[in-house]
Amino acid sequence: MKILAGIVSVMALLAVSGFVLADVATGEVGAGAQPGDQVPKLCISHRDVIIGDDANPPGINPFDYRTSLYAFTGEQISYVVIVRDPNGALDTGFVKAIVGGQEEVLANPCTTALCDGYTASCDGMGKFNPLTDKAFHVLISVEPQWYGDTKVVLSAYNSMNQATEATHNENWFFNPAISISVTTSDGMPIHFEQMPYGADTPEERTVHSLNKIKVKNTAEGGVNMWMFVGGTDLYDPTGASKCPDTNYIGIEKPYGVGGAHTMQYRGWSGTQWTSWDGWNDMWKYDQNQGCTIAKCYGATAVPYGDASTPEYLQNVLTNQGTLEIEFKLTYPMPCIGTFSQGTIYVFGKAV
């Protein structure tokens, strides 16, 4: 009897439990979300034109000065770019530079010193957010085969390899041809007045050129140039001369007023000019000296302004701009003969 009573109690408990489960109805439906594949944004945080090797200071020249969109083989265009993807930074794969419609450069993540100071924020995006943003450094080196007006644009690729171009793009003229037109005002070589009768002092023996040099910058691609002028001594091809004791007039000889060179020059181009009260000494052409922005194959800057004008602006000839140069000469004493063999050189170096 006791055993039976225990069995009945258990069955009653099971009946109660079964009643509780039967009182609950269950069902299910599917669930999901789609954030969408949002288009990333590219922000150019910094750009520069650089040489970028250890032998040269940063910048395209020591003054880091260039006034138009042209570049030559070996020169580099540098960008620091921030990519923001609303789907998260992991959705940003990489950045490439597209040059003339061709993928040319794969960007590096910003871990180099060239990115320092440019990744904390970007105009239009605000502060850098590591959840959505990635920073890249793009370094484009101009290649020898690139030529002409070329579009440069940066493009970000997401995890699906879909590309989004930056709204900022640039058109560069690569490897433009450098040229200048050099003529004289009368179509003749530079020639001078004869020495006045009875001239004695250097002031009295100093004469001016009867014509002038006219220079035009005819380079492609908007190239501006630093200009220089130099020359050779003036020779008598017959050898029947004496000035004062040789058959040539040495243009660097100190026969001028106050020890100035025998030949001097002054030039002008717009507001750039050599003061009417001052002339610059002519120096001889020397192919072994090389060409820098200070001196080009021995030639010196023209125009050459006063100290109030920065050095790198004194002798710039703008693209399609013109420059004029005139000369004066101090005859040594004695000086007899016809010195018809001489050359004046004009050099233009790309800014």
Domain ranges of the chain: 41-174, 180-350
CA distance 72 to 51: 10
Pair of tokens at residue 261: 């060179």
Give the per-residue pLDDT at 63. 82
Give the per-residue pLDDT at 7. 45
∠ Cα 211 215 220 (to 5°): 165
Give the per-residue pLDDT at 26. 80
Confidence of residue 221 (pLDDT cuts 50, 70, 90): very high
> pLDDT higher for 1 or 86?
86
Pair of tokens at residue 124: 């239009």
- Residue 130's contacts (CB-CB under 8 Å, 6 or more residues apart) are 89
> pLDDT higher for 141 or 20?
141
Q: Is the peptide bond before 310 cis (omega within 30 degrees of 0)?
A: no
Task: Give residue for tokens 């820098």.
Answer: 292
- Residue 275's contacts (CB-CB under 8 Å, 6 or more residues apart) are 266, 305, 306
What does DSSP assign to residue 341? B
Rounded to two decimals, the pTM is 0.83
> pLDDT higher for 273 or 124?
273
Judge contact between 253 and 263, C-beta under 8 A: no
**Mean pLDDT in residue range 64-85:** 92
Pair of tokens at residue 13: 């408990």
What does DSSP assign to residue 96? E
Give the per-residue pLDDT at 113. 78
Give the per-residue pLDDT at 36. 60
CA atoms within 13 A on the CB side of 206: 18
Pair of tokens at residue 218: 């005819």
For the stretch 139-185, pLDDT in tens is 999 999 999 999 999 999 998 888 999 989 999 999 999 999 999 99
Residue type, 269: S
Judge contact between 344 and 215, C-beta under 8 A: no
Across the chain, mean pLDDT equals: 88
The backbone torsions φ and ψ at residue 135, rounded to the nearest 5 degrees and listed phi first, read: -110, 140
What does DSSP assign to residue 142? P
CA distance 259 to 279: 13
CA distance 117 to 260: 51
CA distance 346 to 299: 8
Pair of tokens at residue 29: 């439906």
Q: Ranked by mean pLDDT, which of 19-33, 136-150, 268-282, 294-308 comes out on top?
A: 136-150
Q: Taking 90 as the threshold, does the pLDDT of residue 18 lie above it?
A: no
Residue type, 270: G
Judged by phi (left if over 0) then psi (alpha if -120 to 50, else beta), residue 167 lies in alpha
Cβ atoms < 10 Å from Cβ of 326 = 19
CA distance 93 to 69: 30
CATH top-level class of 41-174: mainly beta
Task: Give residue for tokens 């904390």.
Answer: 120
Pair of tokens at residue 259: 């020890």
DSSP assignments along 25-61, one per residue: -------------PPPEEEEEEEEEE--STTS-SSSS
